[in-house]
A = this chain, B = another copy of it.
């Protein structure tokens, strides 16, 4: 193993990323070193690429390797590590908890008071080698396809969202068909939703939703989405609405259409405050409006793995781009154009 490697890094506080040389890290106490097999892009990476104020500029301190979704093979194990062996296939939980704050001590490590993130508080995973705390690693079957295993983190958000929506035997509307919405389509179907009605704006996204098994796909540019969802649910409204877009109008629509006693789960992040008719749409309808953050450690990972490890749910249609790390700019461009599912990258060579 060489001492240095090429990784996708942000070197300066300015837009852009570089495929640059850096050191191969060594595992410290409690850490493992992995040889990356695949990594994948998330919207957060785009914000950092773009150097968007205020969050990216305020939070990210260059130079650092980007990326927080990864699959790799364990090749070296630090001291004090239990439960992992060289050769294990692992995926990474991107949230690094302190395990001691009051939220961790109630079992909510995913929203720890002192949360750190890979690629923001540490170097990330768009690299051939990476280290991570063993306490953030999830073991996969050794023969799992890397392009699937790297997506467990990202799909986990949707698994948590669909799970809180209690979809078994219910009618479900999914608003927004970016990657989290597309995962949600497939997850809702395999968790027993009676009817999955999804609403998207992009042809690419709608085509993937169809492959993922959506029962009804609404093009919000061509028809009144709320009206259509009501028609598809005998005028009653869906039992569950999963809001995956972050659009203010979609959040408002979610409480309009949900049936009384229904559940609205919101994973999308609106960039502005949202005005809601709380009396009529939430209180008088006895509705649960649930914000969703991250993934439960490790309940969500267990369910995610239950769906993926034996091939029960095929998420391959959501992977629209397979690139070498050195081709990362193609992935950034596809995501900026909102014309993709997930972008998976593979190390060029070791």
Contact = CB atoms under 8 A, between A and B. Distances in A.
Interface string A250-287: 01000000011100001111110111111100111111
Contacts of A142: none
A92 to B, nearest CB: 14
25 contacts: A29-B80, A30-B80, A80-B80, A82-B100, A83-B99, A83-B100, A100-B134, A100-B135, A105-B302, A113-B260, A168-B168, A169-B303, A169-B304, A169-B305, A169-B307, A268-B283, A269-B283, A269-B284, A273-B275, A274-B275, A275-B276, A276-B276, A286-B291, A286-B292, A286-B294
Interface in A175-192: 190-192
A255 to B, nearest CB: 9
Nearest to A312: B194
Interface centre among A134, A135, A171, A276 (most CB of B within 10 A): A276
Given A269-B279, A289-B289, 17 more contacts: A82-B100, A106-B299, A107-B297, A108-B286, A168-B306, A169-B305, A169-B306, A195-B306, A266-B278, A269-B283, A274-B278, A278-B291, A283-B293, A284-B293, A286-B291, A286-B292, A287-B291
A138 interface: yes
A193 B134 CA distance: 28
A201 interface: no
A37 to B, nearest CB: 21
Contacts of A99: 82-83, 135
Interface of A: 29-30, 80, 82-84, 98-108, 110-111, 113, 134-135, 138, 159, 163, 168-171, 190-195, 215, 236, 246, 251, 259-261, 266-271, 273-279, 282-294, 296-299, 301-307, 309-310, 312
